[in-house]
């Protein structure tokens, strides 16, 4: 669902990370956040998720101020997909998905058949139901990432935040995860994800947000936003944006390699 | 619009690659949904196996209790024991001697109960700490519960108190040690889990120094051996008295909390931030789990002294047989820990004429076993 950010600012001590960030993300939109390392992409996400709660400005998710919500209420509005990482212990895939289904359970209760069904349906929706009984640490990195997507779905939140979901994945898995995510956005979810690949933004985003020096540098249609000048400015690399297949796809090519 | 075309084209690239698609539309027929339920809700082979193992562990514990009754210079047959227990409630013909009854109620029964309780508590606390600190090497005394208890006991022995006061002092200081750790870690900056464990190590060392000091000033003929013996850990003091009853209350409370929260400990192992985005207030949950685990540890240590290794190895052993999911791991650890300490305690009281403190034996068994575990894992 919608996210409204107005005048967001955040500092670590004296170091200002985000300054006056204001954006509005409508329903059913896939947003890609671009920006160099350390520009504050993760910080922005952590503020939206209220993991960094001492920010200035306001963040409304589905019209509700995130600061006013309890941890549990917030988890019903937004879910989070971290980079796939190995947990310390070997859980079954279904158990990993089940972890997010406790948002409406009493403190001392464990999930029952209803939650198991929800978790299983989430896996089916992503198309990986066959992994349900496998050990999470023994499936591939791409599959792990898809399991985390399923986990976010099972949480029933309408907004999903993904922090560099594909940075550790190979090409095939990257494509699989991103198309799955885009499909979910078409089905009505709002998804905000960050990436290091401008090319990905052309294929897998409705809107692109560019952060530069802690501010919103640009926000809009990726074809309008990602230009030669912009990539040169924020990454310090001269590129040429080229269009392929009658402008169905665009790619960025570093100029120095083709000169 | 070019944009839309681009998007649809990309989607076709995706599907050609075998991209996962939803298997069913949301409005799929009801019947189909029911079929699917059967498939997904049937427990997997692993789950069934875990359930069987937990039942097996429970049966094993009962058998171990029966065998333990028969072991010793004056064996008590299990059926005799059951009749003696029932005889307390119902009027039964006395088929046992008065000597047997005294032995059963004053020696064998309290000792077996204490072994089961302490083993169960230490294993449950170990499993809980390994989860909350995402650290497979955590044990029940990671936050200084044992050293705090040792200091409390040593001070009480030094003051010439009786067994009951020693236990209470140990229990109190054990809680004080852990509360100090939580207080320090609440004020410290940085990774909360790491800071808590570090604070635990420091507070442990502080109390250890305190124990050393009490040993230094203790009367070497009387108090010093008492302190040393207490530190070795033993279940010889078991009596059906207020002491045992009073420790069983915090044990029962702590175990009930850990059992009820067992599924949530799974989520804690994913880290605080992830837990928070899944609707779990990780800091509060961790605090509750720590307090419950500390309660059972402190209660155990206060009556049995320092019994190491049980809380470290039993959860690992259970993880190997029932898997990592705390829904199964917690009950399995409780049952296996109880049986384990009972068996080791039997060895401790029967192996030699003079009893070997059980704390020494658990270390003798535990350390080599742990080495075996970690080397075995490497080969896989």
Token code pair at residue B27 = 């409005």
Residues of B within 8 A of A175 (CB-CB) are 13-14, 17, 19
Is residue A53 helix, strand or coil?
coil
With CB atoms and an 8 Å threshold, state whether A129 touches B11: no
pLDDT exceeds cutoff 80 at A130: yes
Beta-sheet strands, E only, within A26-77? 30-34, 56-61, 64-65
Question: What is the architecture, at CATH level 2, of domain A3-226?
Answer: 3-Layer(aba) Sandwich (3.40)
CB-based contact (8 Å) between A79 and chain B? yes
With CB atoms and an 8 Å threshold, state whether B11 touches A180: no
pLDDT exceeds cutoff 90 at B258: yes
Burial class of residue A27 (count of CB atoms within 10 Å of its CB; 0-12, 13-18, 19+):
middle
Report the distance separating Cα B244 and Cα B330, nearest Å. Answer: 24
Q: How confident is the model at residue B11 (pLDDT cuts 50, 70, 90)?
A: very low
pLDDT exceeds cutoff 60 at B14: no
Note the pLDDT tens digit of each residue in B290-306: 999 999 999 998 888 88
With CB atoms and an 8 Å threshold, state whether B281 touches A72: yes
Mean pLDDT for all residues in chain B: 83
How many Cβ contacts (< 8 angstroms) between chains A and B?
156
Cβ-count burial B183-217 (b if 16+ within 10 Å, e if not)? ebbeeeeeeebebbbbbbeebbeebbebbeebbee
Report the distance separating Cα B346 and Cα B335, nearest Å. Answer: 17
Of A102, A108, A179, which has the smallest distance from its Cβ to B279's Cβ?
A102
Q: What local confidence, expressed as pLDDT, does residue B16 receive? A: 38
Q: What local confidence, expressed as pLDDT, does residue B43 receive? A: 66
pLDDT exceeds cutoff 70 at B6: no
Please name which of B279, B364, B320, B314 lies closest in space to residue B128, comparing C-alpha atoms.
B314
> Which residue in chain B has the smallest CA separation from A101?
B278
pLDDT exceeds cutoff 80 at B80: yes
Q: What local confidence, expressed as pLDDT, does residue B35 receive? A: 43
- Identify the structural domains of chain B with CATH numbers, from first to last: 49-65+96-367 (1.10.3470.10)
Phi/psi of residue A80, each to 5°? -130, 135
With CB atoms and an 8 Å threshold, state whether A113 touches B267: no
**CB proximity list for A85: less than 8 A, separation 6 or greater:** none
Q: What local confidence, expressed as pLDDT, does residue A201 receive? A: 86
Report the distance separating Cα A208 and Cα A225, nearest Å. Answer: 7
Mean pLDDT of A218-245: 86
Least confident of B16-20, B38-42, B138-142, B337-341: B16-20
With CB atoms and an 8 Å threshold, state whether B2 touches A133: no
CB-based contact (8 Å) between A89 and chain B? yes
Taking the mean position of all CA atoms in its chain, how far away is CA A2?
Answer: 14
Q: How far is A182 from chain B (nearest CA, A)?
A: 9
Best mutation target, B278, B322, B328, B377, to test chain A (most A CBs within 10 A): B278
Q: Of all residues in chain A, what percent carry a pLDDT higher than 70?
A: 99
Token code pair at residue B43 = 């427990």
Q: How far is B58 from chain A (nearest CA, A)?
A: 22
Report the distance separating Cα A127 and Cα A138, nearest Å. Answer: 18
> Which residue in chain B has the smallest CA separation from A132?
B40
Q: How far is B286 from chain A (nearest CA, A)?
A: 13
CB-based contact (8 Å) between A63 and chain B? no
Q: How far is A133 from chain B (nearest CA, A)?
A: 7
Note the pLDDT tens digit of each residue in B99-119: 888 888 888 889 999 999 999
pLDDT exceeds cutoff 90 at B45: no
Note the pLDDT tens digit of each residue in A238-250: 888 888 888 888 8
Q: What local confidence, expressed as pLDDT, does residue B32 receive? A: 42
pLDDT exceeds cutoff 50 at B50: yes
Token code pair at residue B134 = 């995402």
Note the pLDDT tens digit of each residue in A43-90: 899 899 988 888 888 898 888 888 888 888 888 889 998 877 777 788
Helix ranges restricted to H, chain B: 2-16, 30-41, 45-70, 78-89, 98-103, 109-132, 145-158, 163-187, 192-217, 223-232, 242-260, 262-268, 272-277, 282-304, 310-322, 326-350, 358-379
Q: What local confidence, expressed as pLDDT, does residue B42 receive? A: 63
With CB atoms and an 8 Å threshold, state whether B278 touches A183: no
With CB atoms and an 8 Å threshold, state whether B10 touches A180: no
Q: What local confidence, expressed as pLDDT, does residue B380 receive? A: 43
pLDDT exceeds cutoff 70 at B10: no
Residue spans of the domains in chain A: they are 3-226, 227-259
With CB atoms and an 8 Å threshold, state whether A179 touches B263: no
End-to-end CA distance of chain B: 56
Residues of B within 8 A of A12 (CB-CB) are none
Helices B242-260, B326-350: inter-axial angle, 10-degree rounding: 150
B234 vs B36, more confident:
B234
Answer yes or no: are the C-beta atoms of A243 and A227 closer than 8 Å: no
A107 vs A123, more confident:
A123
> Which residue in chain A has the smallest CA separation from B271?
A87
pLDDT exceeds cutoff 60 at B55: yes
Q: What local confidence, expressed as pLDDT, does residue B33 receive? A: 43
Please name which of B110, B148, B126, B116 lies closest in space to residue B302, comparing C-alpha atoms.
B148
Note the pLDDT tens digit of each residue in A31-50: 999 888 888 888 899 899 98
With CB atoms and an 8 Å threshold, state whether B276 touches A51: yes
Note the pLDDT tens digit of each residue in B168-189: 899 999 999 999 998 988 887 7
pLDDT exceeds cutoff 80 at A126: yes
Answer yes or no: are the C-beta atoms of A80 and B297 closer than 8 Å: no
Q: How confident is the model at residue B41 (pLDDT cuts 50, 70, 90)?
A: low
* Total-model pTM: 0.84
Of A100, A180, A183, which has the smallest distance from its Cβ to B278's Cβ?
A100
Mean pLDDT of B225-243: 82
Best mutation target, A95, A116, A126, A173, to test chain B (most B CBs within 10 A): A95
With CB atoms and an 8 Å threshold, state whether B41 touches A103: no
pLDDT exceeds cutoff 90 at A257: no
Report the distance separating Cα B79 and Cα A142, nearest Å. Answer: 59
Mean pLDDT of B76-90: 85
Q: What local confidence, expressed as pLDDT, does residue A196 receive? A: 83
Answer yes or no: are the C-beta atoms of B21 and B15 closer than 8 Å: yes
With CB atoms and an 8 Å threshold, state whether A88 touches B269: yes
Would you say how long chain B is, in residues?
380
Q: What local confidence, expressed as pLDDT, does residue B377 receive? A: 59
Q: Of all residues in chain B, what percent carry a pLDDT higher than 70?
A: 87
With CB atoms and an 8 Å threshold, state whether A51 touches B136: no
CB-based contact (8 Å) between A127 and chain B? yes
Location of structure tokens 């004080």: B176
With CB atoms and an 8 Å threshold, state whether A203 touches B6: yes
Q: How many CA atoms lie within 13 A of B61 on its CB side?
A: 24
Please name which of A102, A57, A70, A84 lies closest in space to residue A214, comparing C-alpha atoms.
A57
Q: How confident is the model at residue B39 (pLDDT cuts 50, 70, 90)?
A: low
pLDDT exceeds cutoff 90 at A156: no
With CB atoms and an 8 Å threshold, state whether B325 touches A91: yes
Q: Which long-range contacts (CB under 8 A, 24 or more apart) does A139-143 make?
A: A139/A93, A140/A173, A141/A84, A141/A168, A141/A169, A141/A170, A141/A173, A142/A169, A142/A170, A142/A172, A142/A173, A142/A174, A142/A176, A142/A177, A143/A173
For A:39-58, CB contacts with B below 8 A are 46, 49, 51
């Amino acid at each position: 669902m919608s996210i409204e950010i107005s005048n967001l600012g955040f500092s670590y001590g004296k170091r200002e990370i985000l300054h006056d960030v204001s954006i509005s993300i409508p329903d059913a939109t896939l947003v890609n956040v671009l920006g160099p390392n350390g520009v504050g992409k993760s910080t922005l996400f952590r503020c939206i998720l209220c993991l960094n709660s001492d920010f200035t400005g306001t963040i409304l998710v589905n019209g509700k101020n995130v600061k006013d919500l309890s941890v549990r209420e917030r988890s019903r509005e937004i879910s989070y997909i971290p980079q796939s990482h190995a947990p310390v212990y070997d859980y079954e895939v279904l158990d990993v998905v089940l972890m997010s289904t406790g948002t409406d359970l009493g403190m001392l209760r464990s999930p029952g058949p209803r939650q198991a069904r929800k978790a299983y349906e989430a896996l089916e929706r992503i198309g990986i139901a066959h992994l349900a009984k496998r050990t999470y640490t023994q499936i591939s990195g791409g599959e792990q990432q898809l399991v985390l997507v399923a986990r976010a779905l099972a949480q029933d939140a309408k907004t999903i935040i993904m922090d560099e979901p594909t940075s550790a994945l190979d090409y095939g898995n990257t494509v699989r995860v991103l198309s799955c995510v885009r499909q979910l956005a078409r089905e009505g979810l709002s998804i905000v994800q960050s990436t290091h690949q401008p090319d990905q933004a052309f294929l897998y985003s409705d809107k692109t947000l560019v952060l530069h020096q802690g501010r919103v540098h640009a926000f809009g249609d990726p074809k309008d936003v990602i230009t030669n000048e912009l990539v040169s400015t924020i990454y310090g690399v001269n590129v040429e944006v080229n269009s392929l297949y009658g402008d169905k796809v665009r790619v960025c090519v570093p100029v120095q390699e083709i000169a | 619009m070019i944009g839309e075309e681009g998007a649809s084209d990309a989607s076709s690239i995706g599907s050609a690659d075998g991209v996962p698609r939803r298997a069913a539309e949301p409005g799929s027929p009801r019947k189909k949904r029911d079929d699917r339920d059967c498939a997904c809700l049937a427990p997997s082979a692993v789950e069934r196996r875990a359930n069987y193992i937990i039942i097996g562990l429970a049966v094993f514990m009962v058998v171990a209790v029966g065998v333990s009754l028969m072991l010793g210079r004056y064996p008590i047959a299990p059926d005799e024991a059951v009749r003696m227990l029932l005889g307390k409630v119902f009027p039964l013909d006395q088929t046992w001697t008065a000597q047997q009854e005294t032995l059963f109620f004053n020696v064998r029964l309290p000792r077996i109960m204490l072994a089961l309780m302490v083993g169960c508590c230490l294993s449950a606390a170990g499993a809980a700490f390994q989860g909350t600190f995402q650290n497979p090497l955590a044990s029940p005394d990671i936050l200084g519960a044992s050293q705090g208890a040792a200091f409390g006991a040593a001070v009480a022995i030094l003051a010439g108190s009786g067994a009951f006061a020693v236990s209470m002092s140990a229990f109190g200081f054990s809680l004080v040690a852990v509360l100090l750790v939580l207080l320090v870690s609440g004020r410290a900056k940085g990774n909360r889990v790491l800071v808590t464990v570090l604070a635990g190590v420091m507070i442990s060392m502080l109390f250890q120094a305190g124990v050393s000091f009490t040993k230094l000033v203790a009367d070497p003929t009387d108090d010093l051996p008492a302190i040393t013996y207490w530190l070795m850990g033993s279940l010889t003091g078991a009596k059906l008295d207020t002491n045992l009853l009073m420790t069983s209350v915090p044990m029962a409370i702590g175990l009930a909390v850990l059992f009820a929260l067992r599924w949530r400990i799974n989520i804690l192992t994913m880290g605080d931030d992830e837990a928070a985005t899944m609707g779990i207030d990780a800091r509060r949950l961790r605090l509750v789990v720590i307090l419950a685990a500390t309660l059972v540890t402190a209660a155990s240590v206060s009556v049995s002294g320092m019994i190491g290794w049980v809380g470290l190895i039993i959860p690992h052993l259970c993880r190997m047989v029932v898997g990592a999911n705390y829904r199964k791991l917690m009950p399995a650890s409780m049952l296996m820990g109880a049986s384990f300490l009972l068996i080791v305690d039997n060895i401790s009281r029967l192996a030699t004429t003079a009893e070997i403190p059980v704390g020494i034996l658990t270390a003798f068994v535990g350390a080599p076993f742990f080495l075996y575990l970690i080397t075995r894992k490497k080969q896989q």
